[in-house]
Amino acid sequence: MKLLAVGLASLTLGSALSIAQKANYDGYKVYRINNVGASRSKVIDLVSNLKLGTWKGKAESSGVVDVMVPPSLLEKFQASTETIDTELMHENLGAAISEETNFSVYAAGAAPNSTWWSSYHAIADHTQFLKDLAAAYPDNSEVISAGKSLEGRDITGIHIWGSGGKDSQKAVVWHGTVHAREWITTMVVEYAAYQLLSSTLAADLAYKNKYDFYIFPIVNPDGFAYTQTSDRMWRKNRQSTSSSSCVGRDINRNWPNQWSQSGGASTSPCAEDYKGQAAGDGVETKLLKAQLDGVAAGKGVKMYMDFHSYSQLFMYPYGYTCSGTLPTGSSYSKLASGAVAAIKAVNGLTYDAGPICNTIYQVSGDSVDYAYQVAKTEFSMTVELRDTGNYGFVLPASQIRPAAEEMWAGLRYVLTNM
């Protein structure tokens, strides 16, 4: 969910023109800037003047800002931050990306097992994994599609049900990888699907007997594919805009509910949080909305969850306003606090819980508010997964399984107690 700075024009972000060759981040450094007090105006000028890509935070308001610095600007950056507290996150971003993209080979037709979470994978392998998972559990699952993306890729998901048969219970809908560069979300969502089908624990078996699950690990397949072929740091979808040469909409600012709220999204097509030309005009947004609306019109939706990275947060409505009072706020707060405790019990990681706007920043046109306000989902939530900034978006493969295990503990708490 993290934003990149609005006024970017360089190859670093791939936010403007389509990139002819793969973006090269060799020698790029990522810094965390302490953005408080008198230093804030300096940080605003620094990010703007050097056109730095921002991973986390907003220079105008956030306490810390994580930025990418290309080799050509390193000397200027260091000179400009002599009186500002900074911390080095990535010594060489390109090297970290190379290590992360050392994919393992996946054998099509193999029985899904825990080795899947030992590395990241190519997009085609993710599709095959879901097919193999459904084939291994044909009595309780099937591969589904929310439709075709702009570039013709299926938004592939898996439908999981219990002893009552398909569509016999209220729905649980989970979305991963709405922001293309957030690779850890794909793996965590797939792990949850795997646990629902493979676990023999009585509590886990009860979940699919109580709810129908519609799980989509990659809801932005074009953007995700682009991170693997052209620019690892790409965020948006790949949709063009008639008024600009810049590419992409932020699917999580484009839902037709509380769209275009001041401060909640950008009006600039070149911005990473661009809201789109009209509410719900994103190709993928329309499909995801239709799929959610469809299950809501049936038995209804008990829970919606949108998975993001990074910051270690467990959140709920509202995103579009920081002053709105959620009628069921006490129930949400109790669930989120319990989930955070369950997560911490696995590996000791601390997550913070609270409403989206108050916990991270204002977000308008987001899926969580739509699910709650329009689709009438009883519990609509979002998470920011590992970590808090040591690795950011480029989380080492060694952390995939721990991240998945701790989040499954949090999800189990919510499924048990909601």
Residue 20 lies in a domain: no
In a shared domain, residues 40 and 67: yes
Question: What is the pTM for the complete model shown?
Answer: 0.92
Which of the listed residues 97, 120, 135 is the one where a domain comes to its end? 97
Cα–Cα distance measured from residue 224 to residue 125, given in angstroms and rounded to the nearest whole number? 13
Residue 33 resides in a domain: yes
Q: Are residues 43 and 178 in the same domain?
A: no
User: Distance (Å, rounded) from C-alpha 138 to C-alpha 153?
Assistant: 24
Q: Distance between CA atoms of 261 and 272, rounded to whole angstroms?
A: 16
* In a shared domain, residues 135 and 171: yes
Structure tokens at 98: 């190379």
In the prediction, which pLDDT does 15 show?
A: 39
How many C-alpha atoms does 192 have within 13 Å on its Cβ side? 33
Domain that holds residue 84: 29-97
Q: Is the pLDDT of residue 108 over 90?
A: no
Mean pLDDT of 306-332: 95
Same domain, 74 and 117: no
**Residues 305 and 406 grouped into a single domain:** yes
Choosing from 44, 62, 97, the residue where a domain stops is 97
Question: 159 and 173 in contact (C-beta within 8 Å)?
Answer: no
Q: Check if the beta carbon of residue 136 is closer than 8 Å to that of residue 193.
A: no
pLDDT reading at 17 higher than 70: no
Are the C-beta atoms of residues 376 and 317 closer than 8 Å to each other? no
Question: Which DSSP helix (H) or strand (E) runs through 75?
Answer: helix 74-80
Is the model's pLDDT at 8 over the cut of 60?
no
Answer whether residue 387 is part of any domain.
Answer: yes
Average pLDDT of the residues of the chain:
92
Residues 185 and 82 reside in one and the same domain: no
Among 12-16, 269-273, 367-371, name the one with the lowest average pLDDT: 12-16
Please, are residues 241 and 186 in contact by the beta-carbon 8 Å criterion?
Answer: no
What one-character-per-residue DSSP string does 338-382 give? Answer: HHHHHHHHHH----EEEEHHHHT----S-HHHHHHHTS--SEEEE
What is the bridge-based pairing of β-strands 301-309 and 379-385? parallel
Domain co-membership, 345 together with 319: yes
- 1-15, 41-55, 75-89, 308-322: least confident range: 1-15
∠ CA 16-152-265 to the nearest 5 degrees?
Answer: 40
Name residue 190's amino acid.
E
- Sign of the dihedral through C-alpha 329, 330, 332, 336: positive
- Show which of 97, 125, 152 is a domain's final residue: 97
Q: Is 284 a catalytic residue?
A: no
Contact predicate 385/310, CB 8 Å = yes
Q: Tally the domains of the chain.
A: 2
Dist. CA 382–CA 317, nearest whole Å: 9
The verdict on residue 257 lying in a domain is: no
Cβ pair 249, 294 in contact under 8 A:
no
Report the SS3 class of residue 156.
strand
Q: Identify the pLDDT of residue 201.
A: 96
Q: Which residues contact 114 (CB under 8 A, 6 or more apart)?
A: 401
Query: Is 418 in a helix, a strand, or coil?
Result: coil
Residue 209 in 3-state DSSP?
helix
Q: Which residues share a beta bridge with 87? A: 32
* Band (1; pLDDT cuts 50, 70, 90): low
Q: What's the CA gap between 378 and 372, in Å, rounded? A: 7
* Residue 53, token pair as written in the block: 């890509």
Phi then psi dihedrals of residue 144, to 5 deg: -130, 170
Q: Give the whole-angstrom CA distance, residue 243 versus residue 295.
A: 35
Is 250 a member of any domain? no
CA distances from 152 to 148, 217, 293, 294 (A): 5, 17, 22, 22
Do 93 and 117 share a domain, yes or no? no
| β-pair type (244-247, 301-309) | unpaired
Confidence band for 13, pLDDT divided at 50, 70 and 90: very low
Q: Specify if 106 maps to a domain.
A: no
Asked if residue 192 belongs to a domain, the reply is: yes
Strands (E), 70-222: 86-90, 141-148, 154-160, 170-175, 211-216
What is the rounded CA–CA span in Å between residue 252 and residue 261?
13
382 and 309 belong to one structural domain: yes
> How far apart (Å, rounded) are the C-alpha atoms in residues 226 and 210?
37
| 8 A C-beta contact, residue 60 and residue 108 | no
Do 116 and 52 share a structural domain?
no
Distance of CA 210 to CAs 1, 239, 299, 412, 416, Å?
Answer: 30, 38, 12, 13, 10
Q: Out of 100, 272, 284, 384, which one is annotated catalytic?
A: 384
Does the pLDDT at position 205 exceed 50? yes
Residues 152-195: tens digit of each pLDDT? 999 999 999 999 999 999 999 999 999 999 999 999 999 999 99
Q: What is the largest CA-CA distance in the chain?
A: 65
Q: What CATH number is associated with residue 35?
A: 3.30.70.340
Give the pLDDT of residue 6: 35
How many whole angstroms separate alpha carbon 126 and alpha carbon 15?
25
Q: Is the pLDDT of residue 7 over 70?
A: no
Q: How far apart are CA 83 and CA 85, in angstroms?
A: 7
Backbone angles phi, psi at 48, to 5 degrees: -70, -50
Work out the average pLDDT over 196-200: 96
219/73 same-domain check: no
pLDDT of residue 327 exceeding 60, the answer is yes
Q: Is pLDDT above 60 for 14?
A: no
Same domain, 317 and 345: yes
Write the CATH number for 162.
Answer: 3.40.630.10
Is 253 within a domain? no
